[in-house]
Amino acid sequence: MRVLLIEDDTALGAAVRDHIAADGHSADWVTRLDSARDCLRATAYDLVLLDLMLPDGRGIPFLRALRQSGDVTPVIILTAMDQISDRIEGLNAGADDYVVKPFDLSELSARLNAVARRYSGNPNPLVSIGDLAVDLAARQVTRGGQPVVLTAREWALFEAFVQRPGQLLSKPQLEDRLYSFDTEIESNTIEVHVSRLRKKLGPGAIETVRGLGYRLGPGG
């Protein structure tokens, strides 16, 4: 997943960003709402983590405006505001989940993945693809009952396909998944990682649509 983190607390923001990256996702971190708007205009995110008190405004009006514009990107609110009325306001404004600070980073990971699965149309974290068994929550893959070890970059790409079965993903869309891992992405990065995934998961795991991109295949 590619995640937009909107948080002005530098210590917390760095911790959340690093934890998201360790989970195999890519994250863009901004500390202001105006920067968040710029990011959302330029990039298709899979999920937004939103603080409610930012230097240039409150998160609730920002979220309402996002929803009114037709943007359905999943949003999880991260805030120290713990009153029931605050939670109700956030959820009614269009949030998909509401996490109160301080929170455990492992719990945040679980909530992030649960929301992402709901939006992908697959709330069940266990997915079968041919002889592949995928556990999206645990980020584990087995092939014919044998575990397959994927690097963080390989998992980030494979997860993109699993969350969008049958959907064609372009090379730029896949490159977006890797921006938090590499300061510079080489022109053949996607081809290299897709080749490695096929070796580990089977030649039929990912199909190439020449000139257009890649999509999830029937399995190994």
How do 2-6 and 47-51 pair as beta strands?
parallel
Q: What is the pLDDT of residue 123?
A: 55
The predicted model gives 157-174 an average pLDDT of 85
Final residue in a domain of this structure, among 119, 141, 159: 119
Mean pLDDT of the chain: 88
Specify the number of domains making up the chain. 2
Question: Where is mean pLDDT largest: 5-19, 35-49, 72-86, 142-156?
Answer: 5-19
Final residue in a domain of this structure, among 119, 144, 159: 119
Q: What is the pLDDT of residue 172?
A: 86
Torsion of Cα atoms, 152 then 205 then 184 then 22, to 10°: -10
Same domain, 115 and 171: no
Same domain, 89 and 158: no
Same domain, 198 and 147: yes
For residue 23, what are its two tokens? 């989970």
CATH for 204: 1.10.10.10
The predicted model gives 10-25 an average pLDDT of 90
Same domain, 86 and 109: yes
Same domain, 56 and 132: no
Same domain, 11 and 72: yes
Q: Please write the tens of the pLDDT for every residue from 166-209.
A: 889 898 888 877 766 555 667 788 999 999 999 999 998 999 99
Q: What is the pLDDT of residue 189?
A: 87
Same domain, 114 and 197: no
Residue 139's domain spans which residues?
126-216
Same domain, 80 and 180: no
Same domain, 99 and 189: no
Q: What is the pLDDT of residue 7?
A: 97
Same domain, 24 and 75: yes
Q: What is the DSSP string of 29-90?
A: EESSHHHHHHHHHH---SEEEEESEETTEEHHHHHHHHHHTT----EEEEES---HHHHHHH
Q: What is the pLDDT of residue 180?
A: 61
- Report whether pLDDT(149) > 90: yes
Q: Tell me how long the chain is.
A: 220
CATH for 38: 3.40.50.2300
Instruction: Please list, in sequence order, all residues whose beta carbon lies within 8 angstroms of the beta carbon of residue 188, skipping any fewer than 6 positions away.
Output: none
